[in-house]
């Protein structure tokens, strides 16, 4: 959930999303709040099982096709989920970091479930040697020492920019402190198991040729996954995709620079005939009443967020 709070608490983005969608959020197994630790004897979930989890949630709620928003590894599995044709928009799906790999059975099993993709710092290739080694170090630390400060620092460095993380002179931001608290509430062995799955992902580059839905990619210029996002954008059909690079930002753009996502998302959704309401409404379509929250609490300054310039790579002929 920490991947999406900044975006959903941004009033303009919230009005755009809550006005048009019913929102579902999926966490990796064992990452939900209050989850019990997995038994040491239970096998580590395969990447195929993580992909099956998404389909099971959609089927349980009777959902057909969905609009998907994924961050980092969540963007990876949603790309896999959408490698073929999709149908009409029904719901908006939020997916926190998850991993999977391309499997021929999945191509037909999930081919018509995704209408559009909004990907934040997506992954699409196998782990580099640097990332693989990085994950191994974190795995060993988690296994022997649990969720120690060094593991937290490694995870926060992977997902957030330097300014937000602070340093010896600049204090750590409120977002970082909230994320540290969030990590303290998770079972270290459950995270250890998930990292084992991370290093098993496969290259999706070739499958991107089959991606026929519209795709909008956000990535921070300081993200550790910046090169993968650029690589992915280069492989997609330029008529139906665009890359937005957010300056002075890490991987989780939804938290660091949610305002930078608003205009690109608005134009993206306009292509589906979806618009932000011209005035704030508390209609039944919006489960949250905006007037119940003080505007001061939703300001960029109160969240420690400052809007930075963005540069967009998109085909001008689209």
Encode pLDDT of 189-225 as tens digits.
889 988 888 888 888 899 888 787 899 999 999 999 9
Residue 295, pLDDT > 60, answer no
Give the pLDDT score at 112: 67
Give the pLDDT score at 84: 41
Residue 48, pLDDT > 60, answer yes
Helix (H, G, I), strand (E, B) or coil at 118: strand
Lowest mean per-residue pLDDT among 22-31, 179-188, 303-312: 303-312
Task: Determine the longest span between alpha carbons in the chain, in angstroms.
Answer: 55
pLDDT in tens, 160-187: 888 788 776 777 788 888 888 888 888 8
Q: Which domains does the chain have, with CATH numbers?
A: 4-34+45-277 (3.40.50.1820)
Lowest mean per-residue pLDDT among 92-96, 224-228, 314-318: 314-318
Give the pLDDT score at 278: 73
Task: Please classify residue 10 by burial: count the beta carbons closer than 10 Å to its beta carbon, then call 0-12 exposed, 13-18 middle and 19+ buried.
Answer: buried
291: which 2 tokens? 């007037």
User: What's the whole-model pTM score?
Assistant: 0.78
Give the pLDDT score at 229: 95
């Amino acid at each position: 959930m920490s991947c999406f709070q900044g975006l959903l608490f941004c009033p303009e983005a919230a009005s755009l999303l809550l006005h048009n969608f019913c929102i579902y959020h999926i966490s990796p197994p064992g990452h939900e709040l209050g989850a019990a630790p997995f038994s040491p004897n239970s096998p580590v979930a395969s990447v195929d099982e993580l992909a099956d989890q998404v389909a099971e949630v959609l089927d349980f709620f009777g959902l057909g096709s969905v609009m998907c928003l994924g961050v980092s590894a969540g963007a990876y599995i949603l790309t896999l989920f959408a490698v073929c044709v999709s149908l009409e928009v029904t719901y908006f799906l939020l997916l926190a970091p998850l991993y999977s790999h391309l499997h021929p059975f999945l191509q037909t099993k999930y081919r018509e479930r995704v209408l559009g993709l909004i990907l934040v710092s997506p992954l699409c290739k196998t782990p580099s040697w640097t990332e693989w080694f990085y994950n191994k170090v974190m795995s060993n630390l988690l296994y022997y020492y649990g969720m120690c400060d060094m593991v937290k620092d490694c995870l926060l460095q992977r997902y957030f920019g330097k300014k937000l993380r602070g340093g010896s002179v600049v204090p750590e931001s409120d977002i970082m402190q909230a994320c540290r608290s969030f990590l303290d509430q998770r079972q270290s062995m459950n995270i250890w198991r998930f990292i084992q799955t991370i290093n098993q992902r496969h290259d999706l580059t070739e499958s991107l040729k089959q991606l026929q839905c519209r795709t909008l990619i956000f990535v921070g210029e300081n993200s550790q996954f910046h090169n993968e996002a650029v690589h992915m954008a280069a492989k997609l059909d330029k008529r139906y995709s665009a890359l937005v690079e957010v300056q002075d930002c890490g991987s989780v753009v939804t938290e660091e620079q949610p305002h930078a996502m608003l205009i690109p998302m608005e134009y993206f959704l306009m292509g589906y005939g979806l618009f932000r309401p011209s005035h704030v409404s508390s209609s039944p379509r919006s489960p949250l009443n905006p007037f119940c929250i003080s505007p001061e609490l939703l300001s960029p300054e109160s969240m420690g967020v400052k809007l930075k310039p963005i540069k967009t790579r998109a085909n001008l002929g689209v």
